[in-house]
Chains A and B, each alone.
Chain A
Amino acid sequence: MKQIECKEIADLLVDYSDGQLPEEQSQIVERHLKKCNNCRKYLGDLQQSLNIVQEIWRENLAEIESVEISVPVKNRRNINRKYAAIAAGLLIAAGIFSVSMQQTLQRPGDVMTAEQVERKISESASAVRLLATADLLREYDGVKDTLNKLYKHIVATYPDTSAAMEAKIRIKSLM
């Protein structure tokens, strides 16, 4: 009998901790919590896990806070072309993505933190994606300067990636 009650209470605890329960149900929950250690413990875990998750989210946010996209409204005409290039870049990146991840993992004896792995995944994917985007732009006229800048950006920003090595070769071929 008691276990059935706990199960019913457990179903209400998320709404209870969010303050979403109607007064009457809230009181039922509170009465149960007073006499039940297990449900109190579960409520504590619900609250603490949310606190920690929100802390993780805040840390993630701090990391991307400085990212700012400003859009040159004047270049409207070029947008479709650019968009096609970026879209194609994404597809290519998806293919090479998994390879770079495997390399990351196969290094023996390495213990990386979760954050390092996350970053590594993101970095190599972005570098590859940028490289692919740049390569697609090569087909257009008058982009040599932009390309040069883009390749240099890849080399400087993602120095340890295979995309950076490729970018170095591209810079030489532009000269």
Chain B
Amino acid sequence: MPDTNSHIDEDNLREAGLLEVFLQEQDRLKRIIAGMGMGAWDAEDILQDVSIKALKNNDRCKERGKALGWLIKVTVNRCITEHRRRKSFAAKALELLDRKRRGSKGVLGPDENAVCSEEKTLLHTTLLELDRKVLMTLVLRYFCDMNASEISEILNITPSAVRNRISRGREVLAKKLAKRGVRP
């Protein structure tokens, strides 16, 4: 049973069904979904699935903290599956578009905004190409503010494996950005 140390306080030891916790904590789950690059329609599907699972297992976790850990874990797994399903062609599509856009625009002007949005597109594409487990680890760390030991419990890996993934992910992103000035 997953457990998050981060939120253990009195409130988390109170008894609560999974569904009740789901209804209160949707915003937290949304950050995971948004971080994994899912749009509104996907978010609806994923949250719906998680809610149904919560309903089916409603009495499974007695403590609030454990219930939240369970919900995060289900959401994480659901996002990873969904991501695998869309990743290959989404990444290919973006790569194609990126090339097309560069071709149509030619060399970028000195406009700072254009450069900035170029960087954003570059990183957007990079996020799509990133190993989904690395991406999930980055999302939990830098968008859900969880620490390595909390993440290790959600993902069932050691804290040092978590740190490893974080370093690898950050490196990929930074190096993409470092190459931004270089045009083929």
- The residues of A with any CB-CB pair to B shorter than 8 Å are 11, 14-15, 41-42, 45-46, 48-50, 52-58, 60-61, 63-71, 73, 76, 79-80, 82-83, 86, 90, 94, 97-98, 101, 104-105, 111-114, 117-119, 121-123, 125-126, 129
Contacts and interface: CB of A to CB of B under 8 A. Distances in A.
B90 to A, nearest CB: 6
Given A46-B170, A50-B170, A105-B96, A122 B42 contact: yes
A58 B143 CA distance: 9
A79 B56 contact: yes
Contacts of B101: 111
Interface of B: 19, 22-23, 26, 30-31, 33-35, 37-45, 47-49, 51-52, 54-56, 85-86, 89-90, 93-94, 96-98, 100-101, 104, 119-121, 123-125, 127, 138-139, 142-143, 163, 166-167, 170-171, 173-178
Given A54-B143, A61-B31, A86-B48, A49 B176 contact: yes
Contacts of A101: 89-90, 93
7 contacts: A49-B177, A52-B177, A64-B33, A64-B39, A86-B49, A113-B97, A129-B45
Contacts of B55: 71, 73, 76, 79
A79 B53 CA distance: 10
Contacts of A14: 166-167, 170-171
Most chain B Cβ neighbours within 10 Å, of A46, A76, A97: A46
A126 B47 CA distance: 13
Contacts of A121: 86, 89-90, 93
A41 B104 CA distance: 30
Contacts of A117: 90, 93-94, 97
Contact of B34 (A64, A69, A97, A112): A64
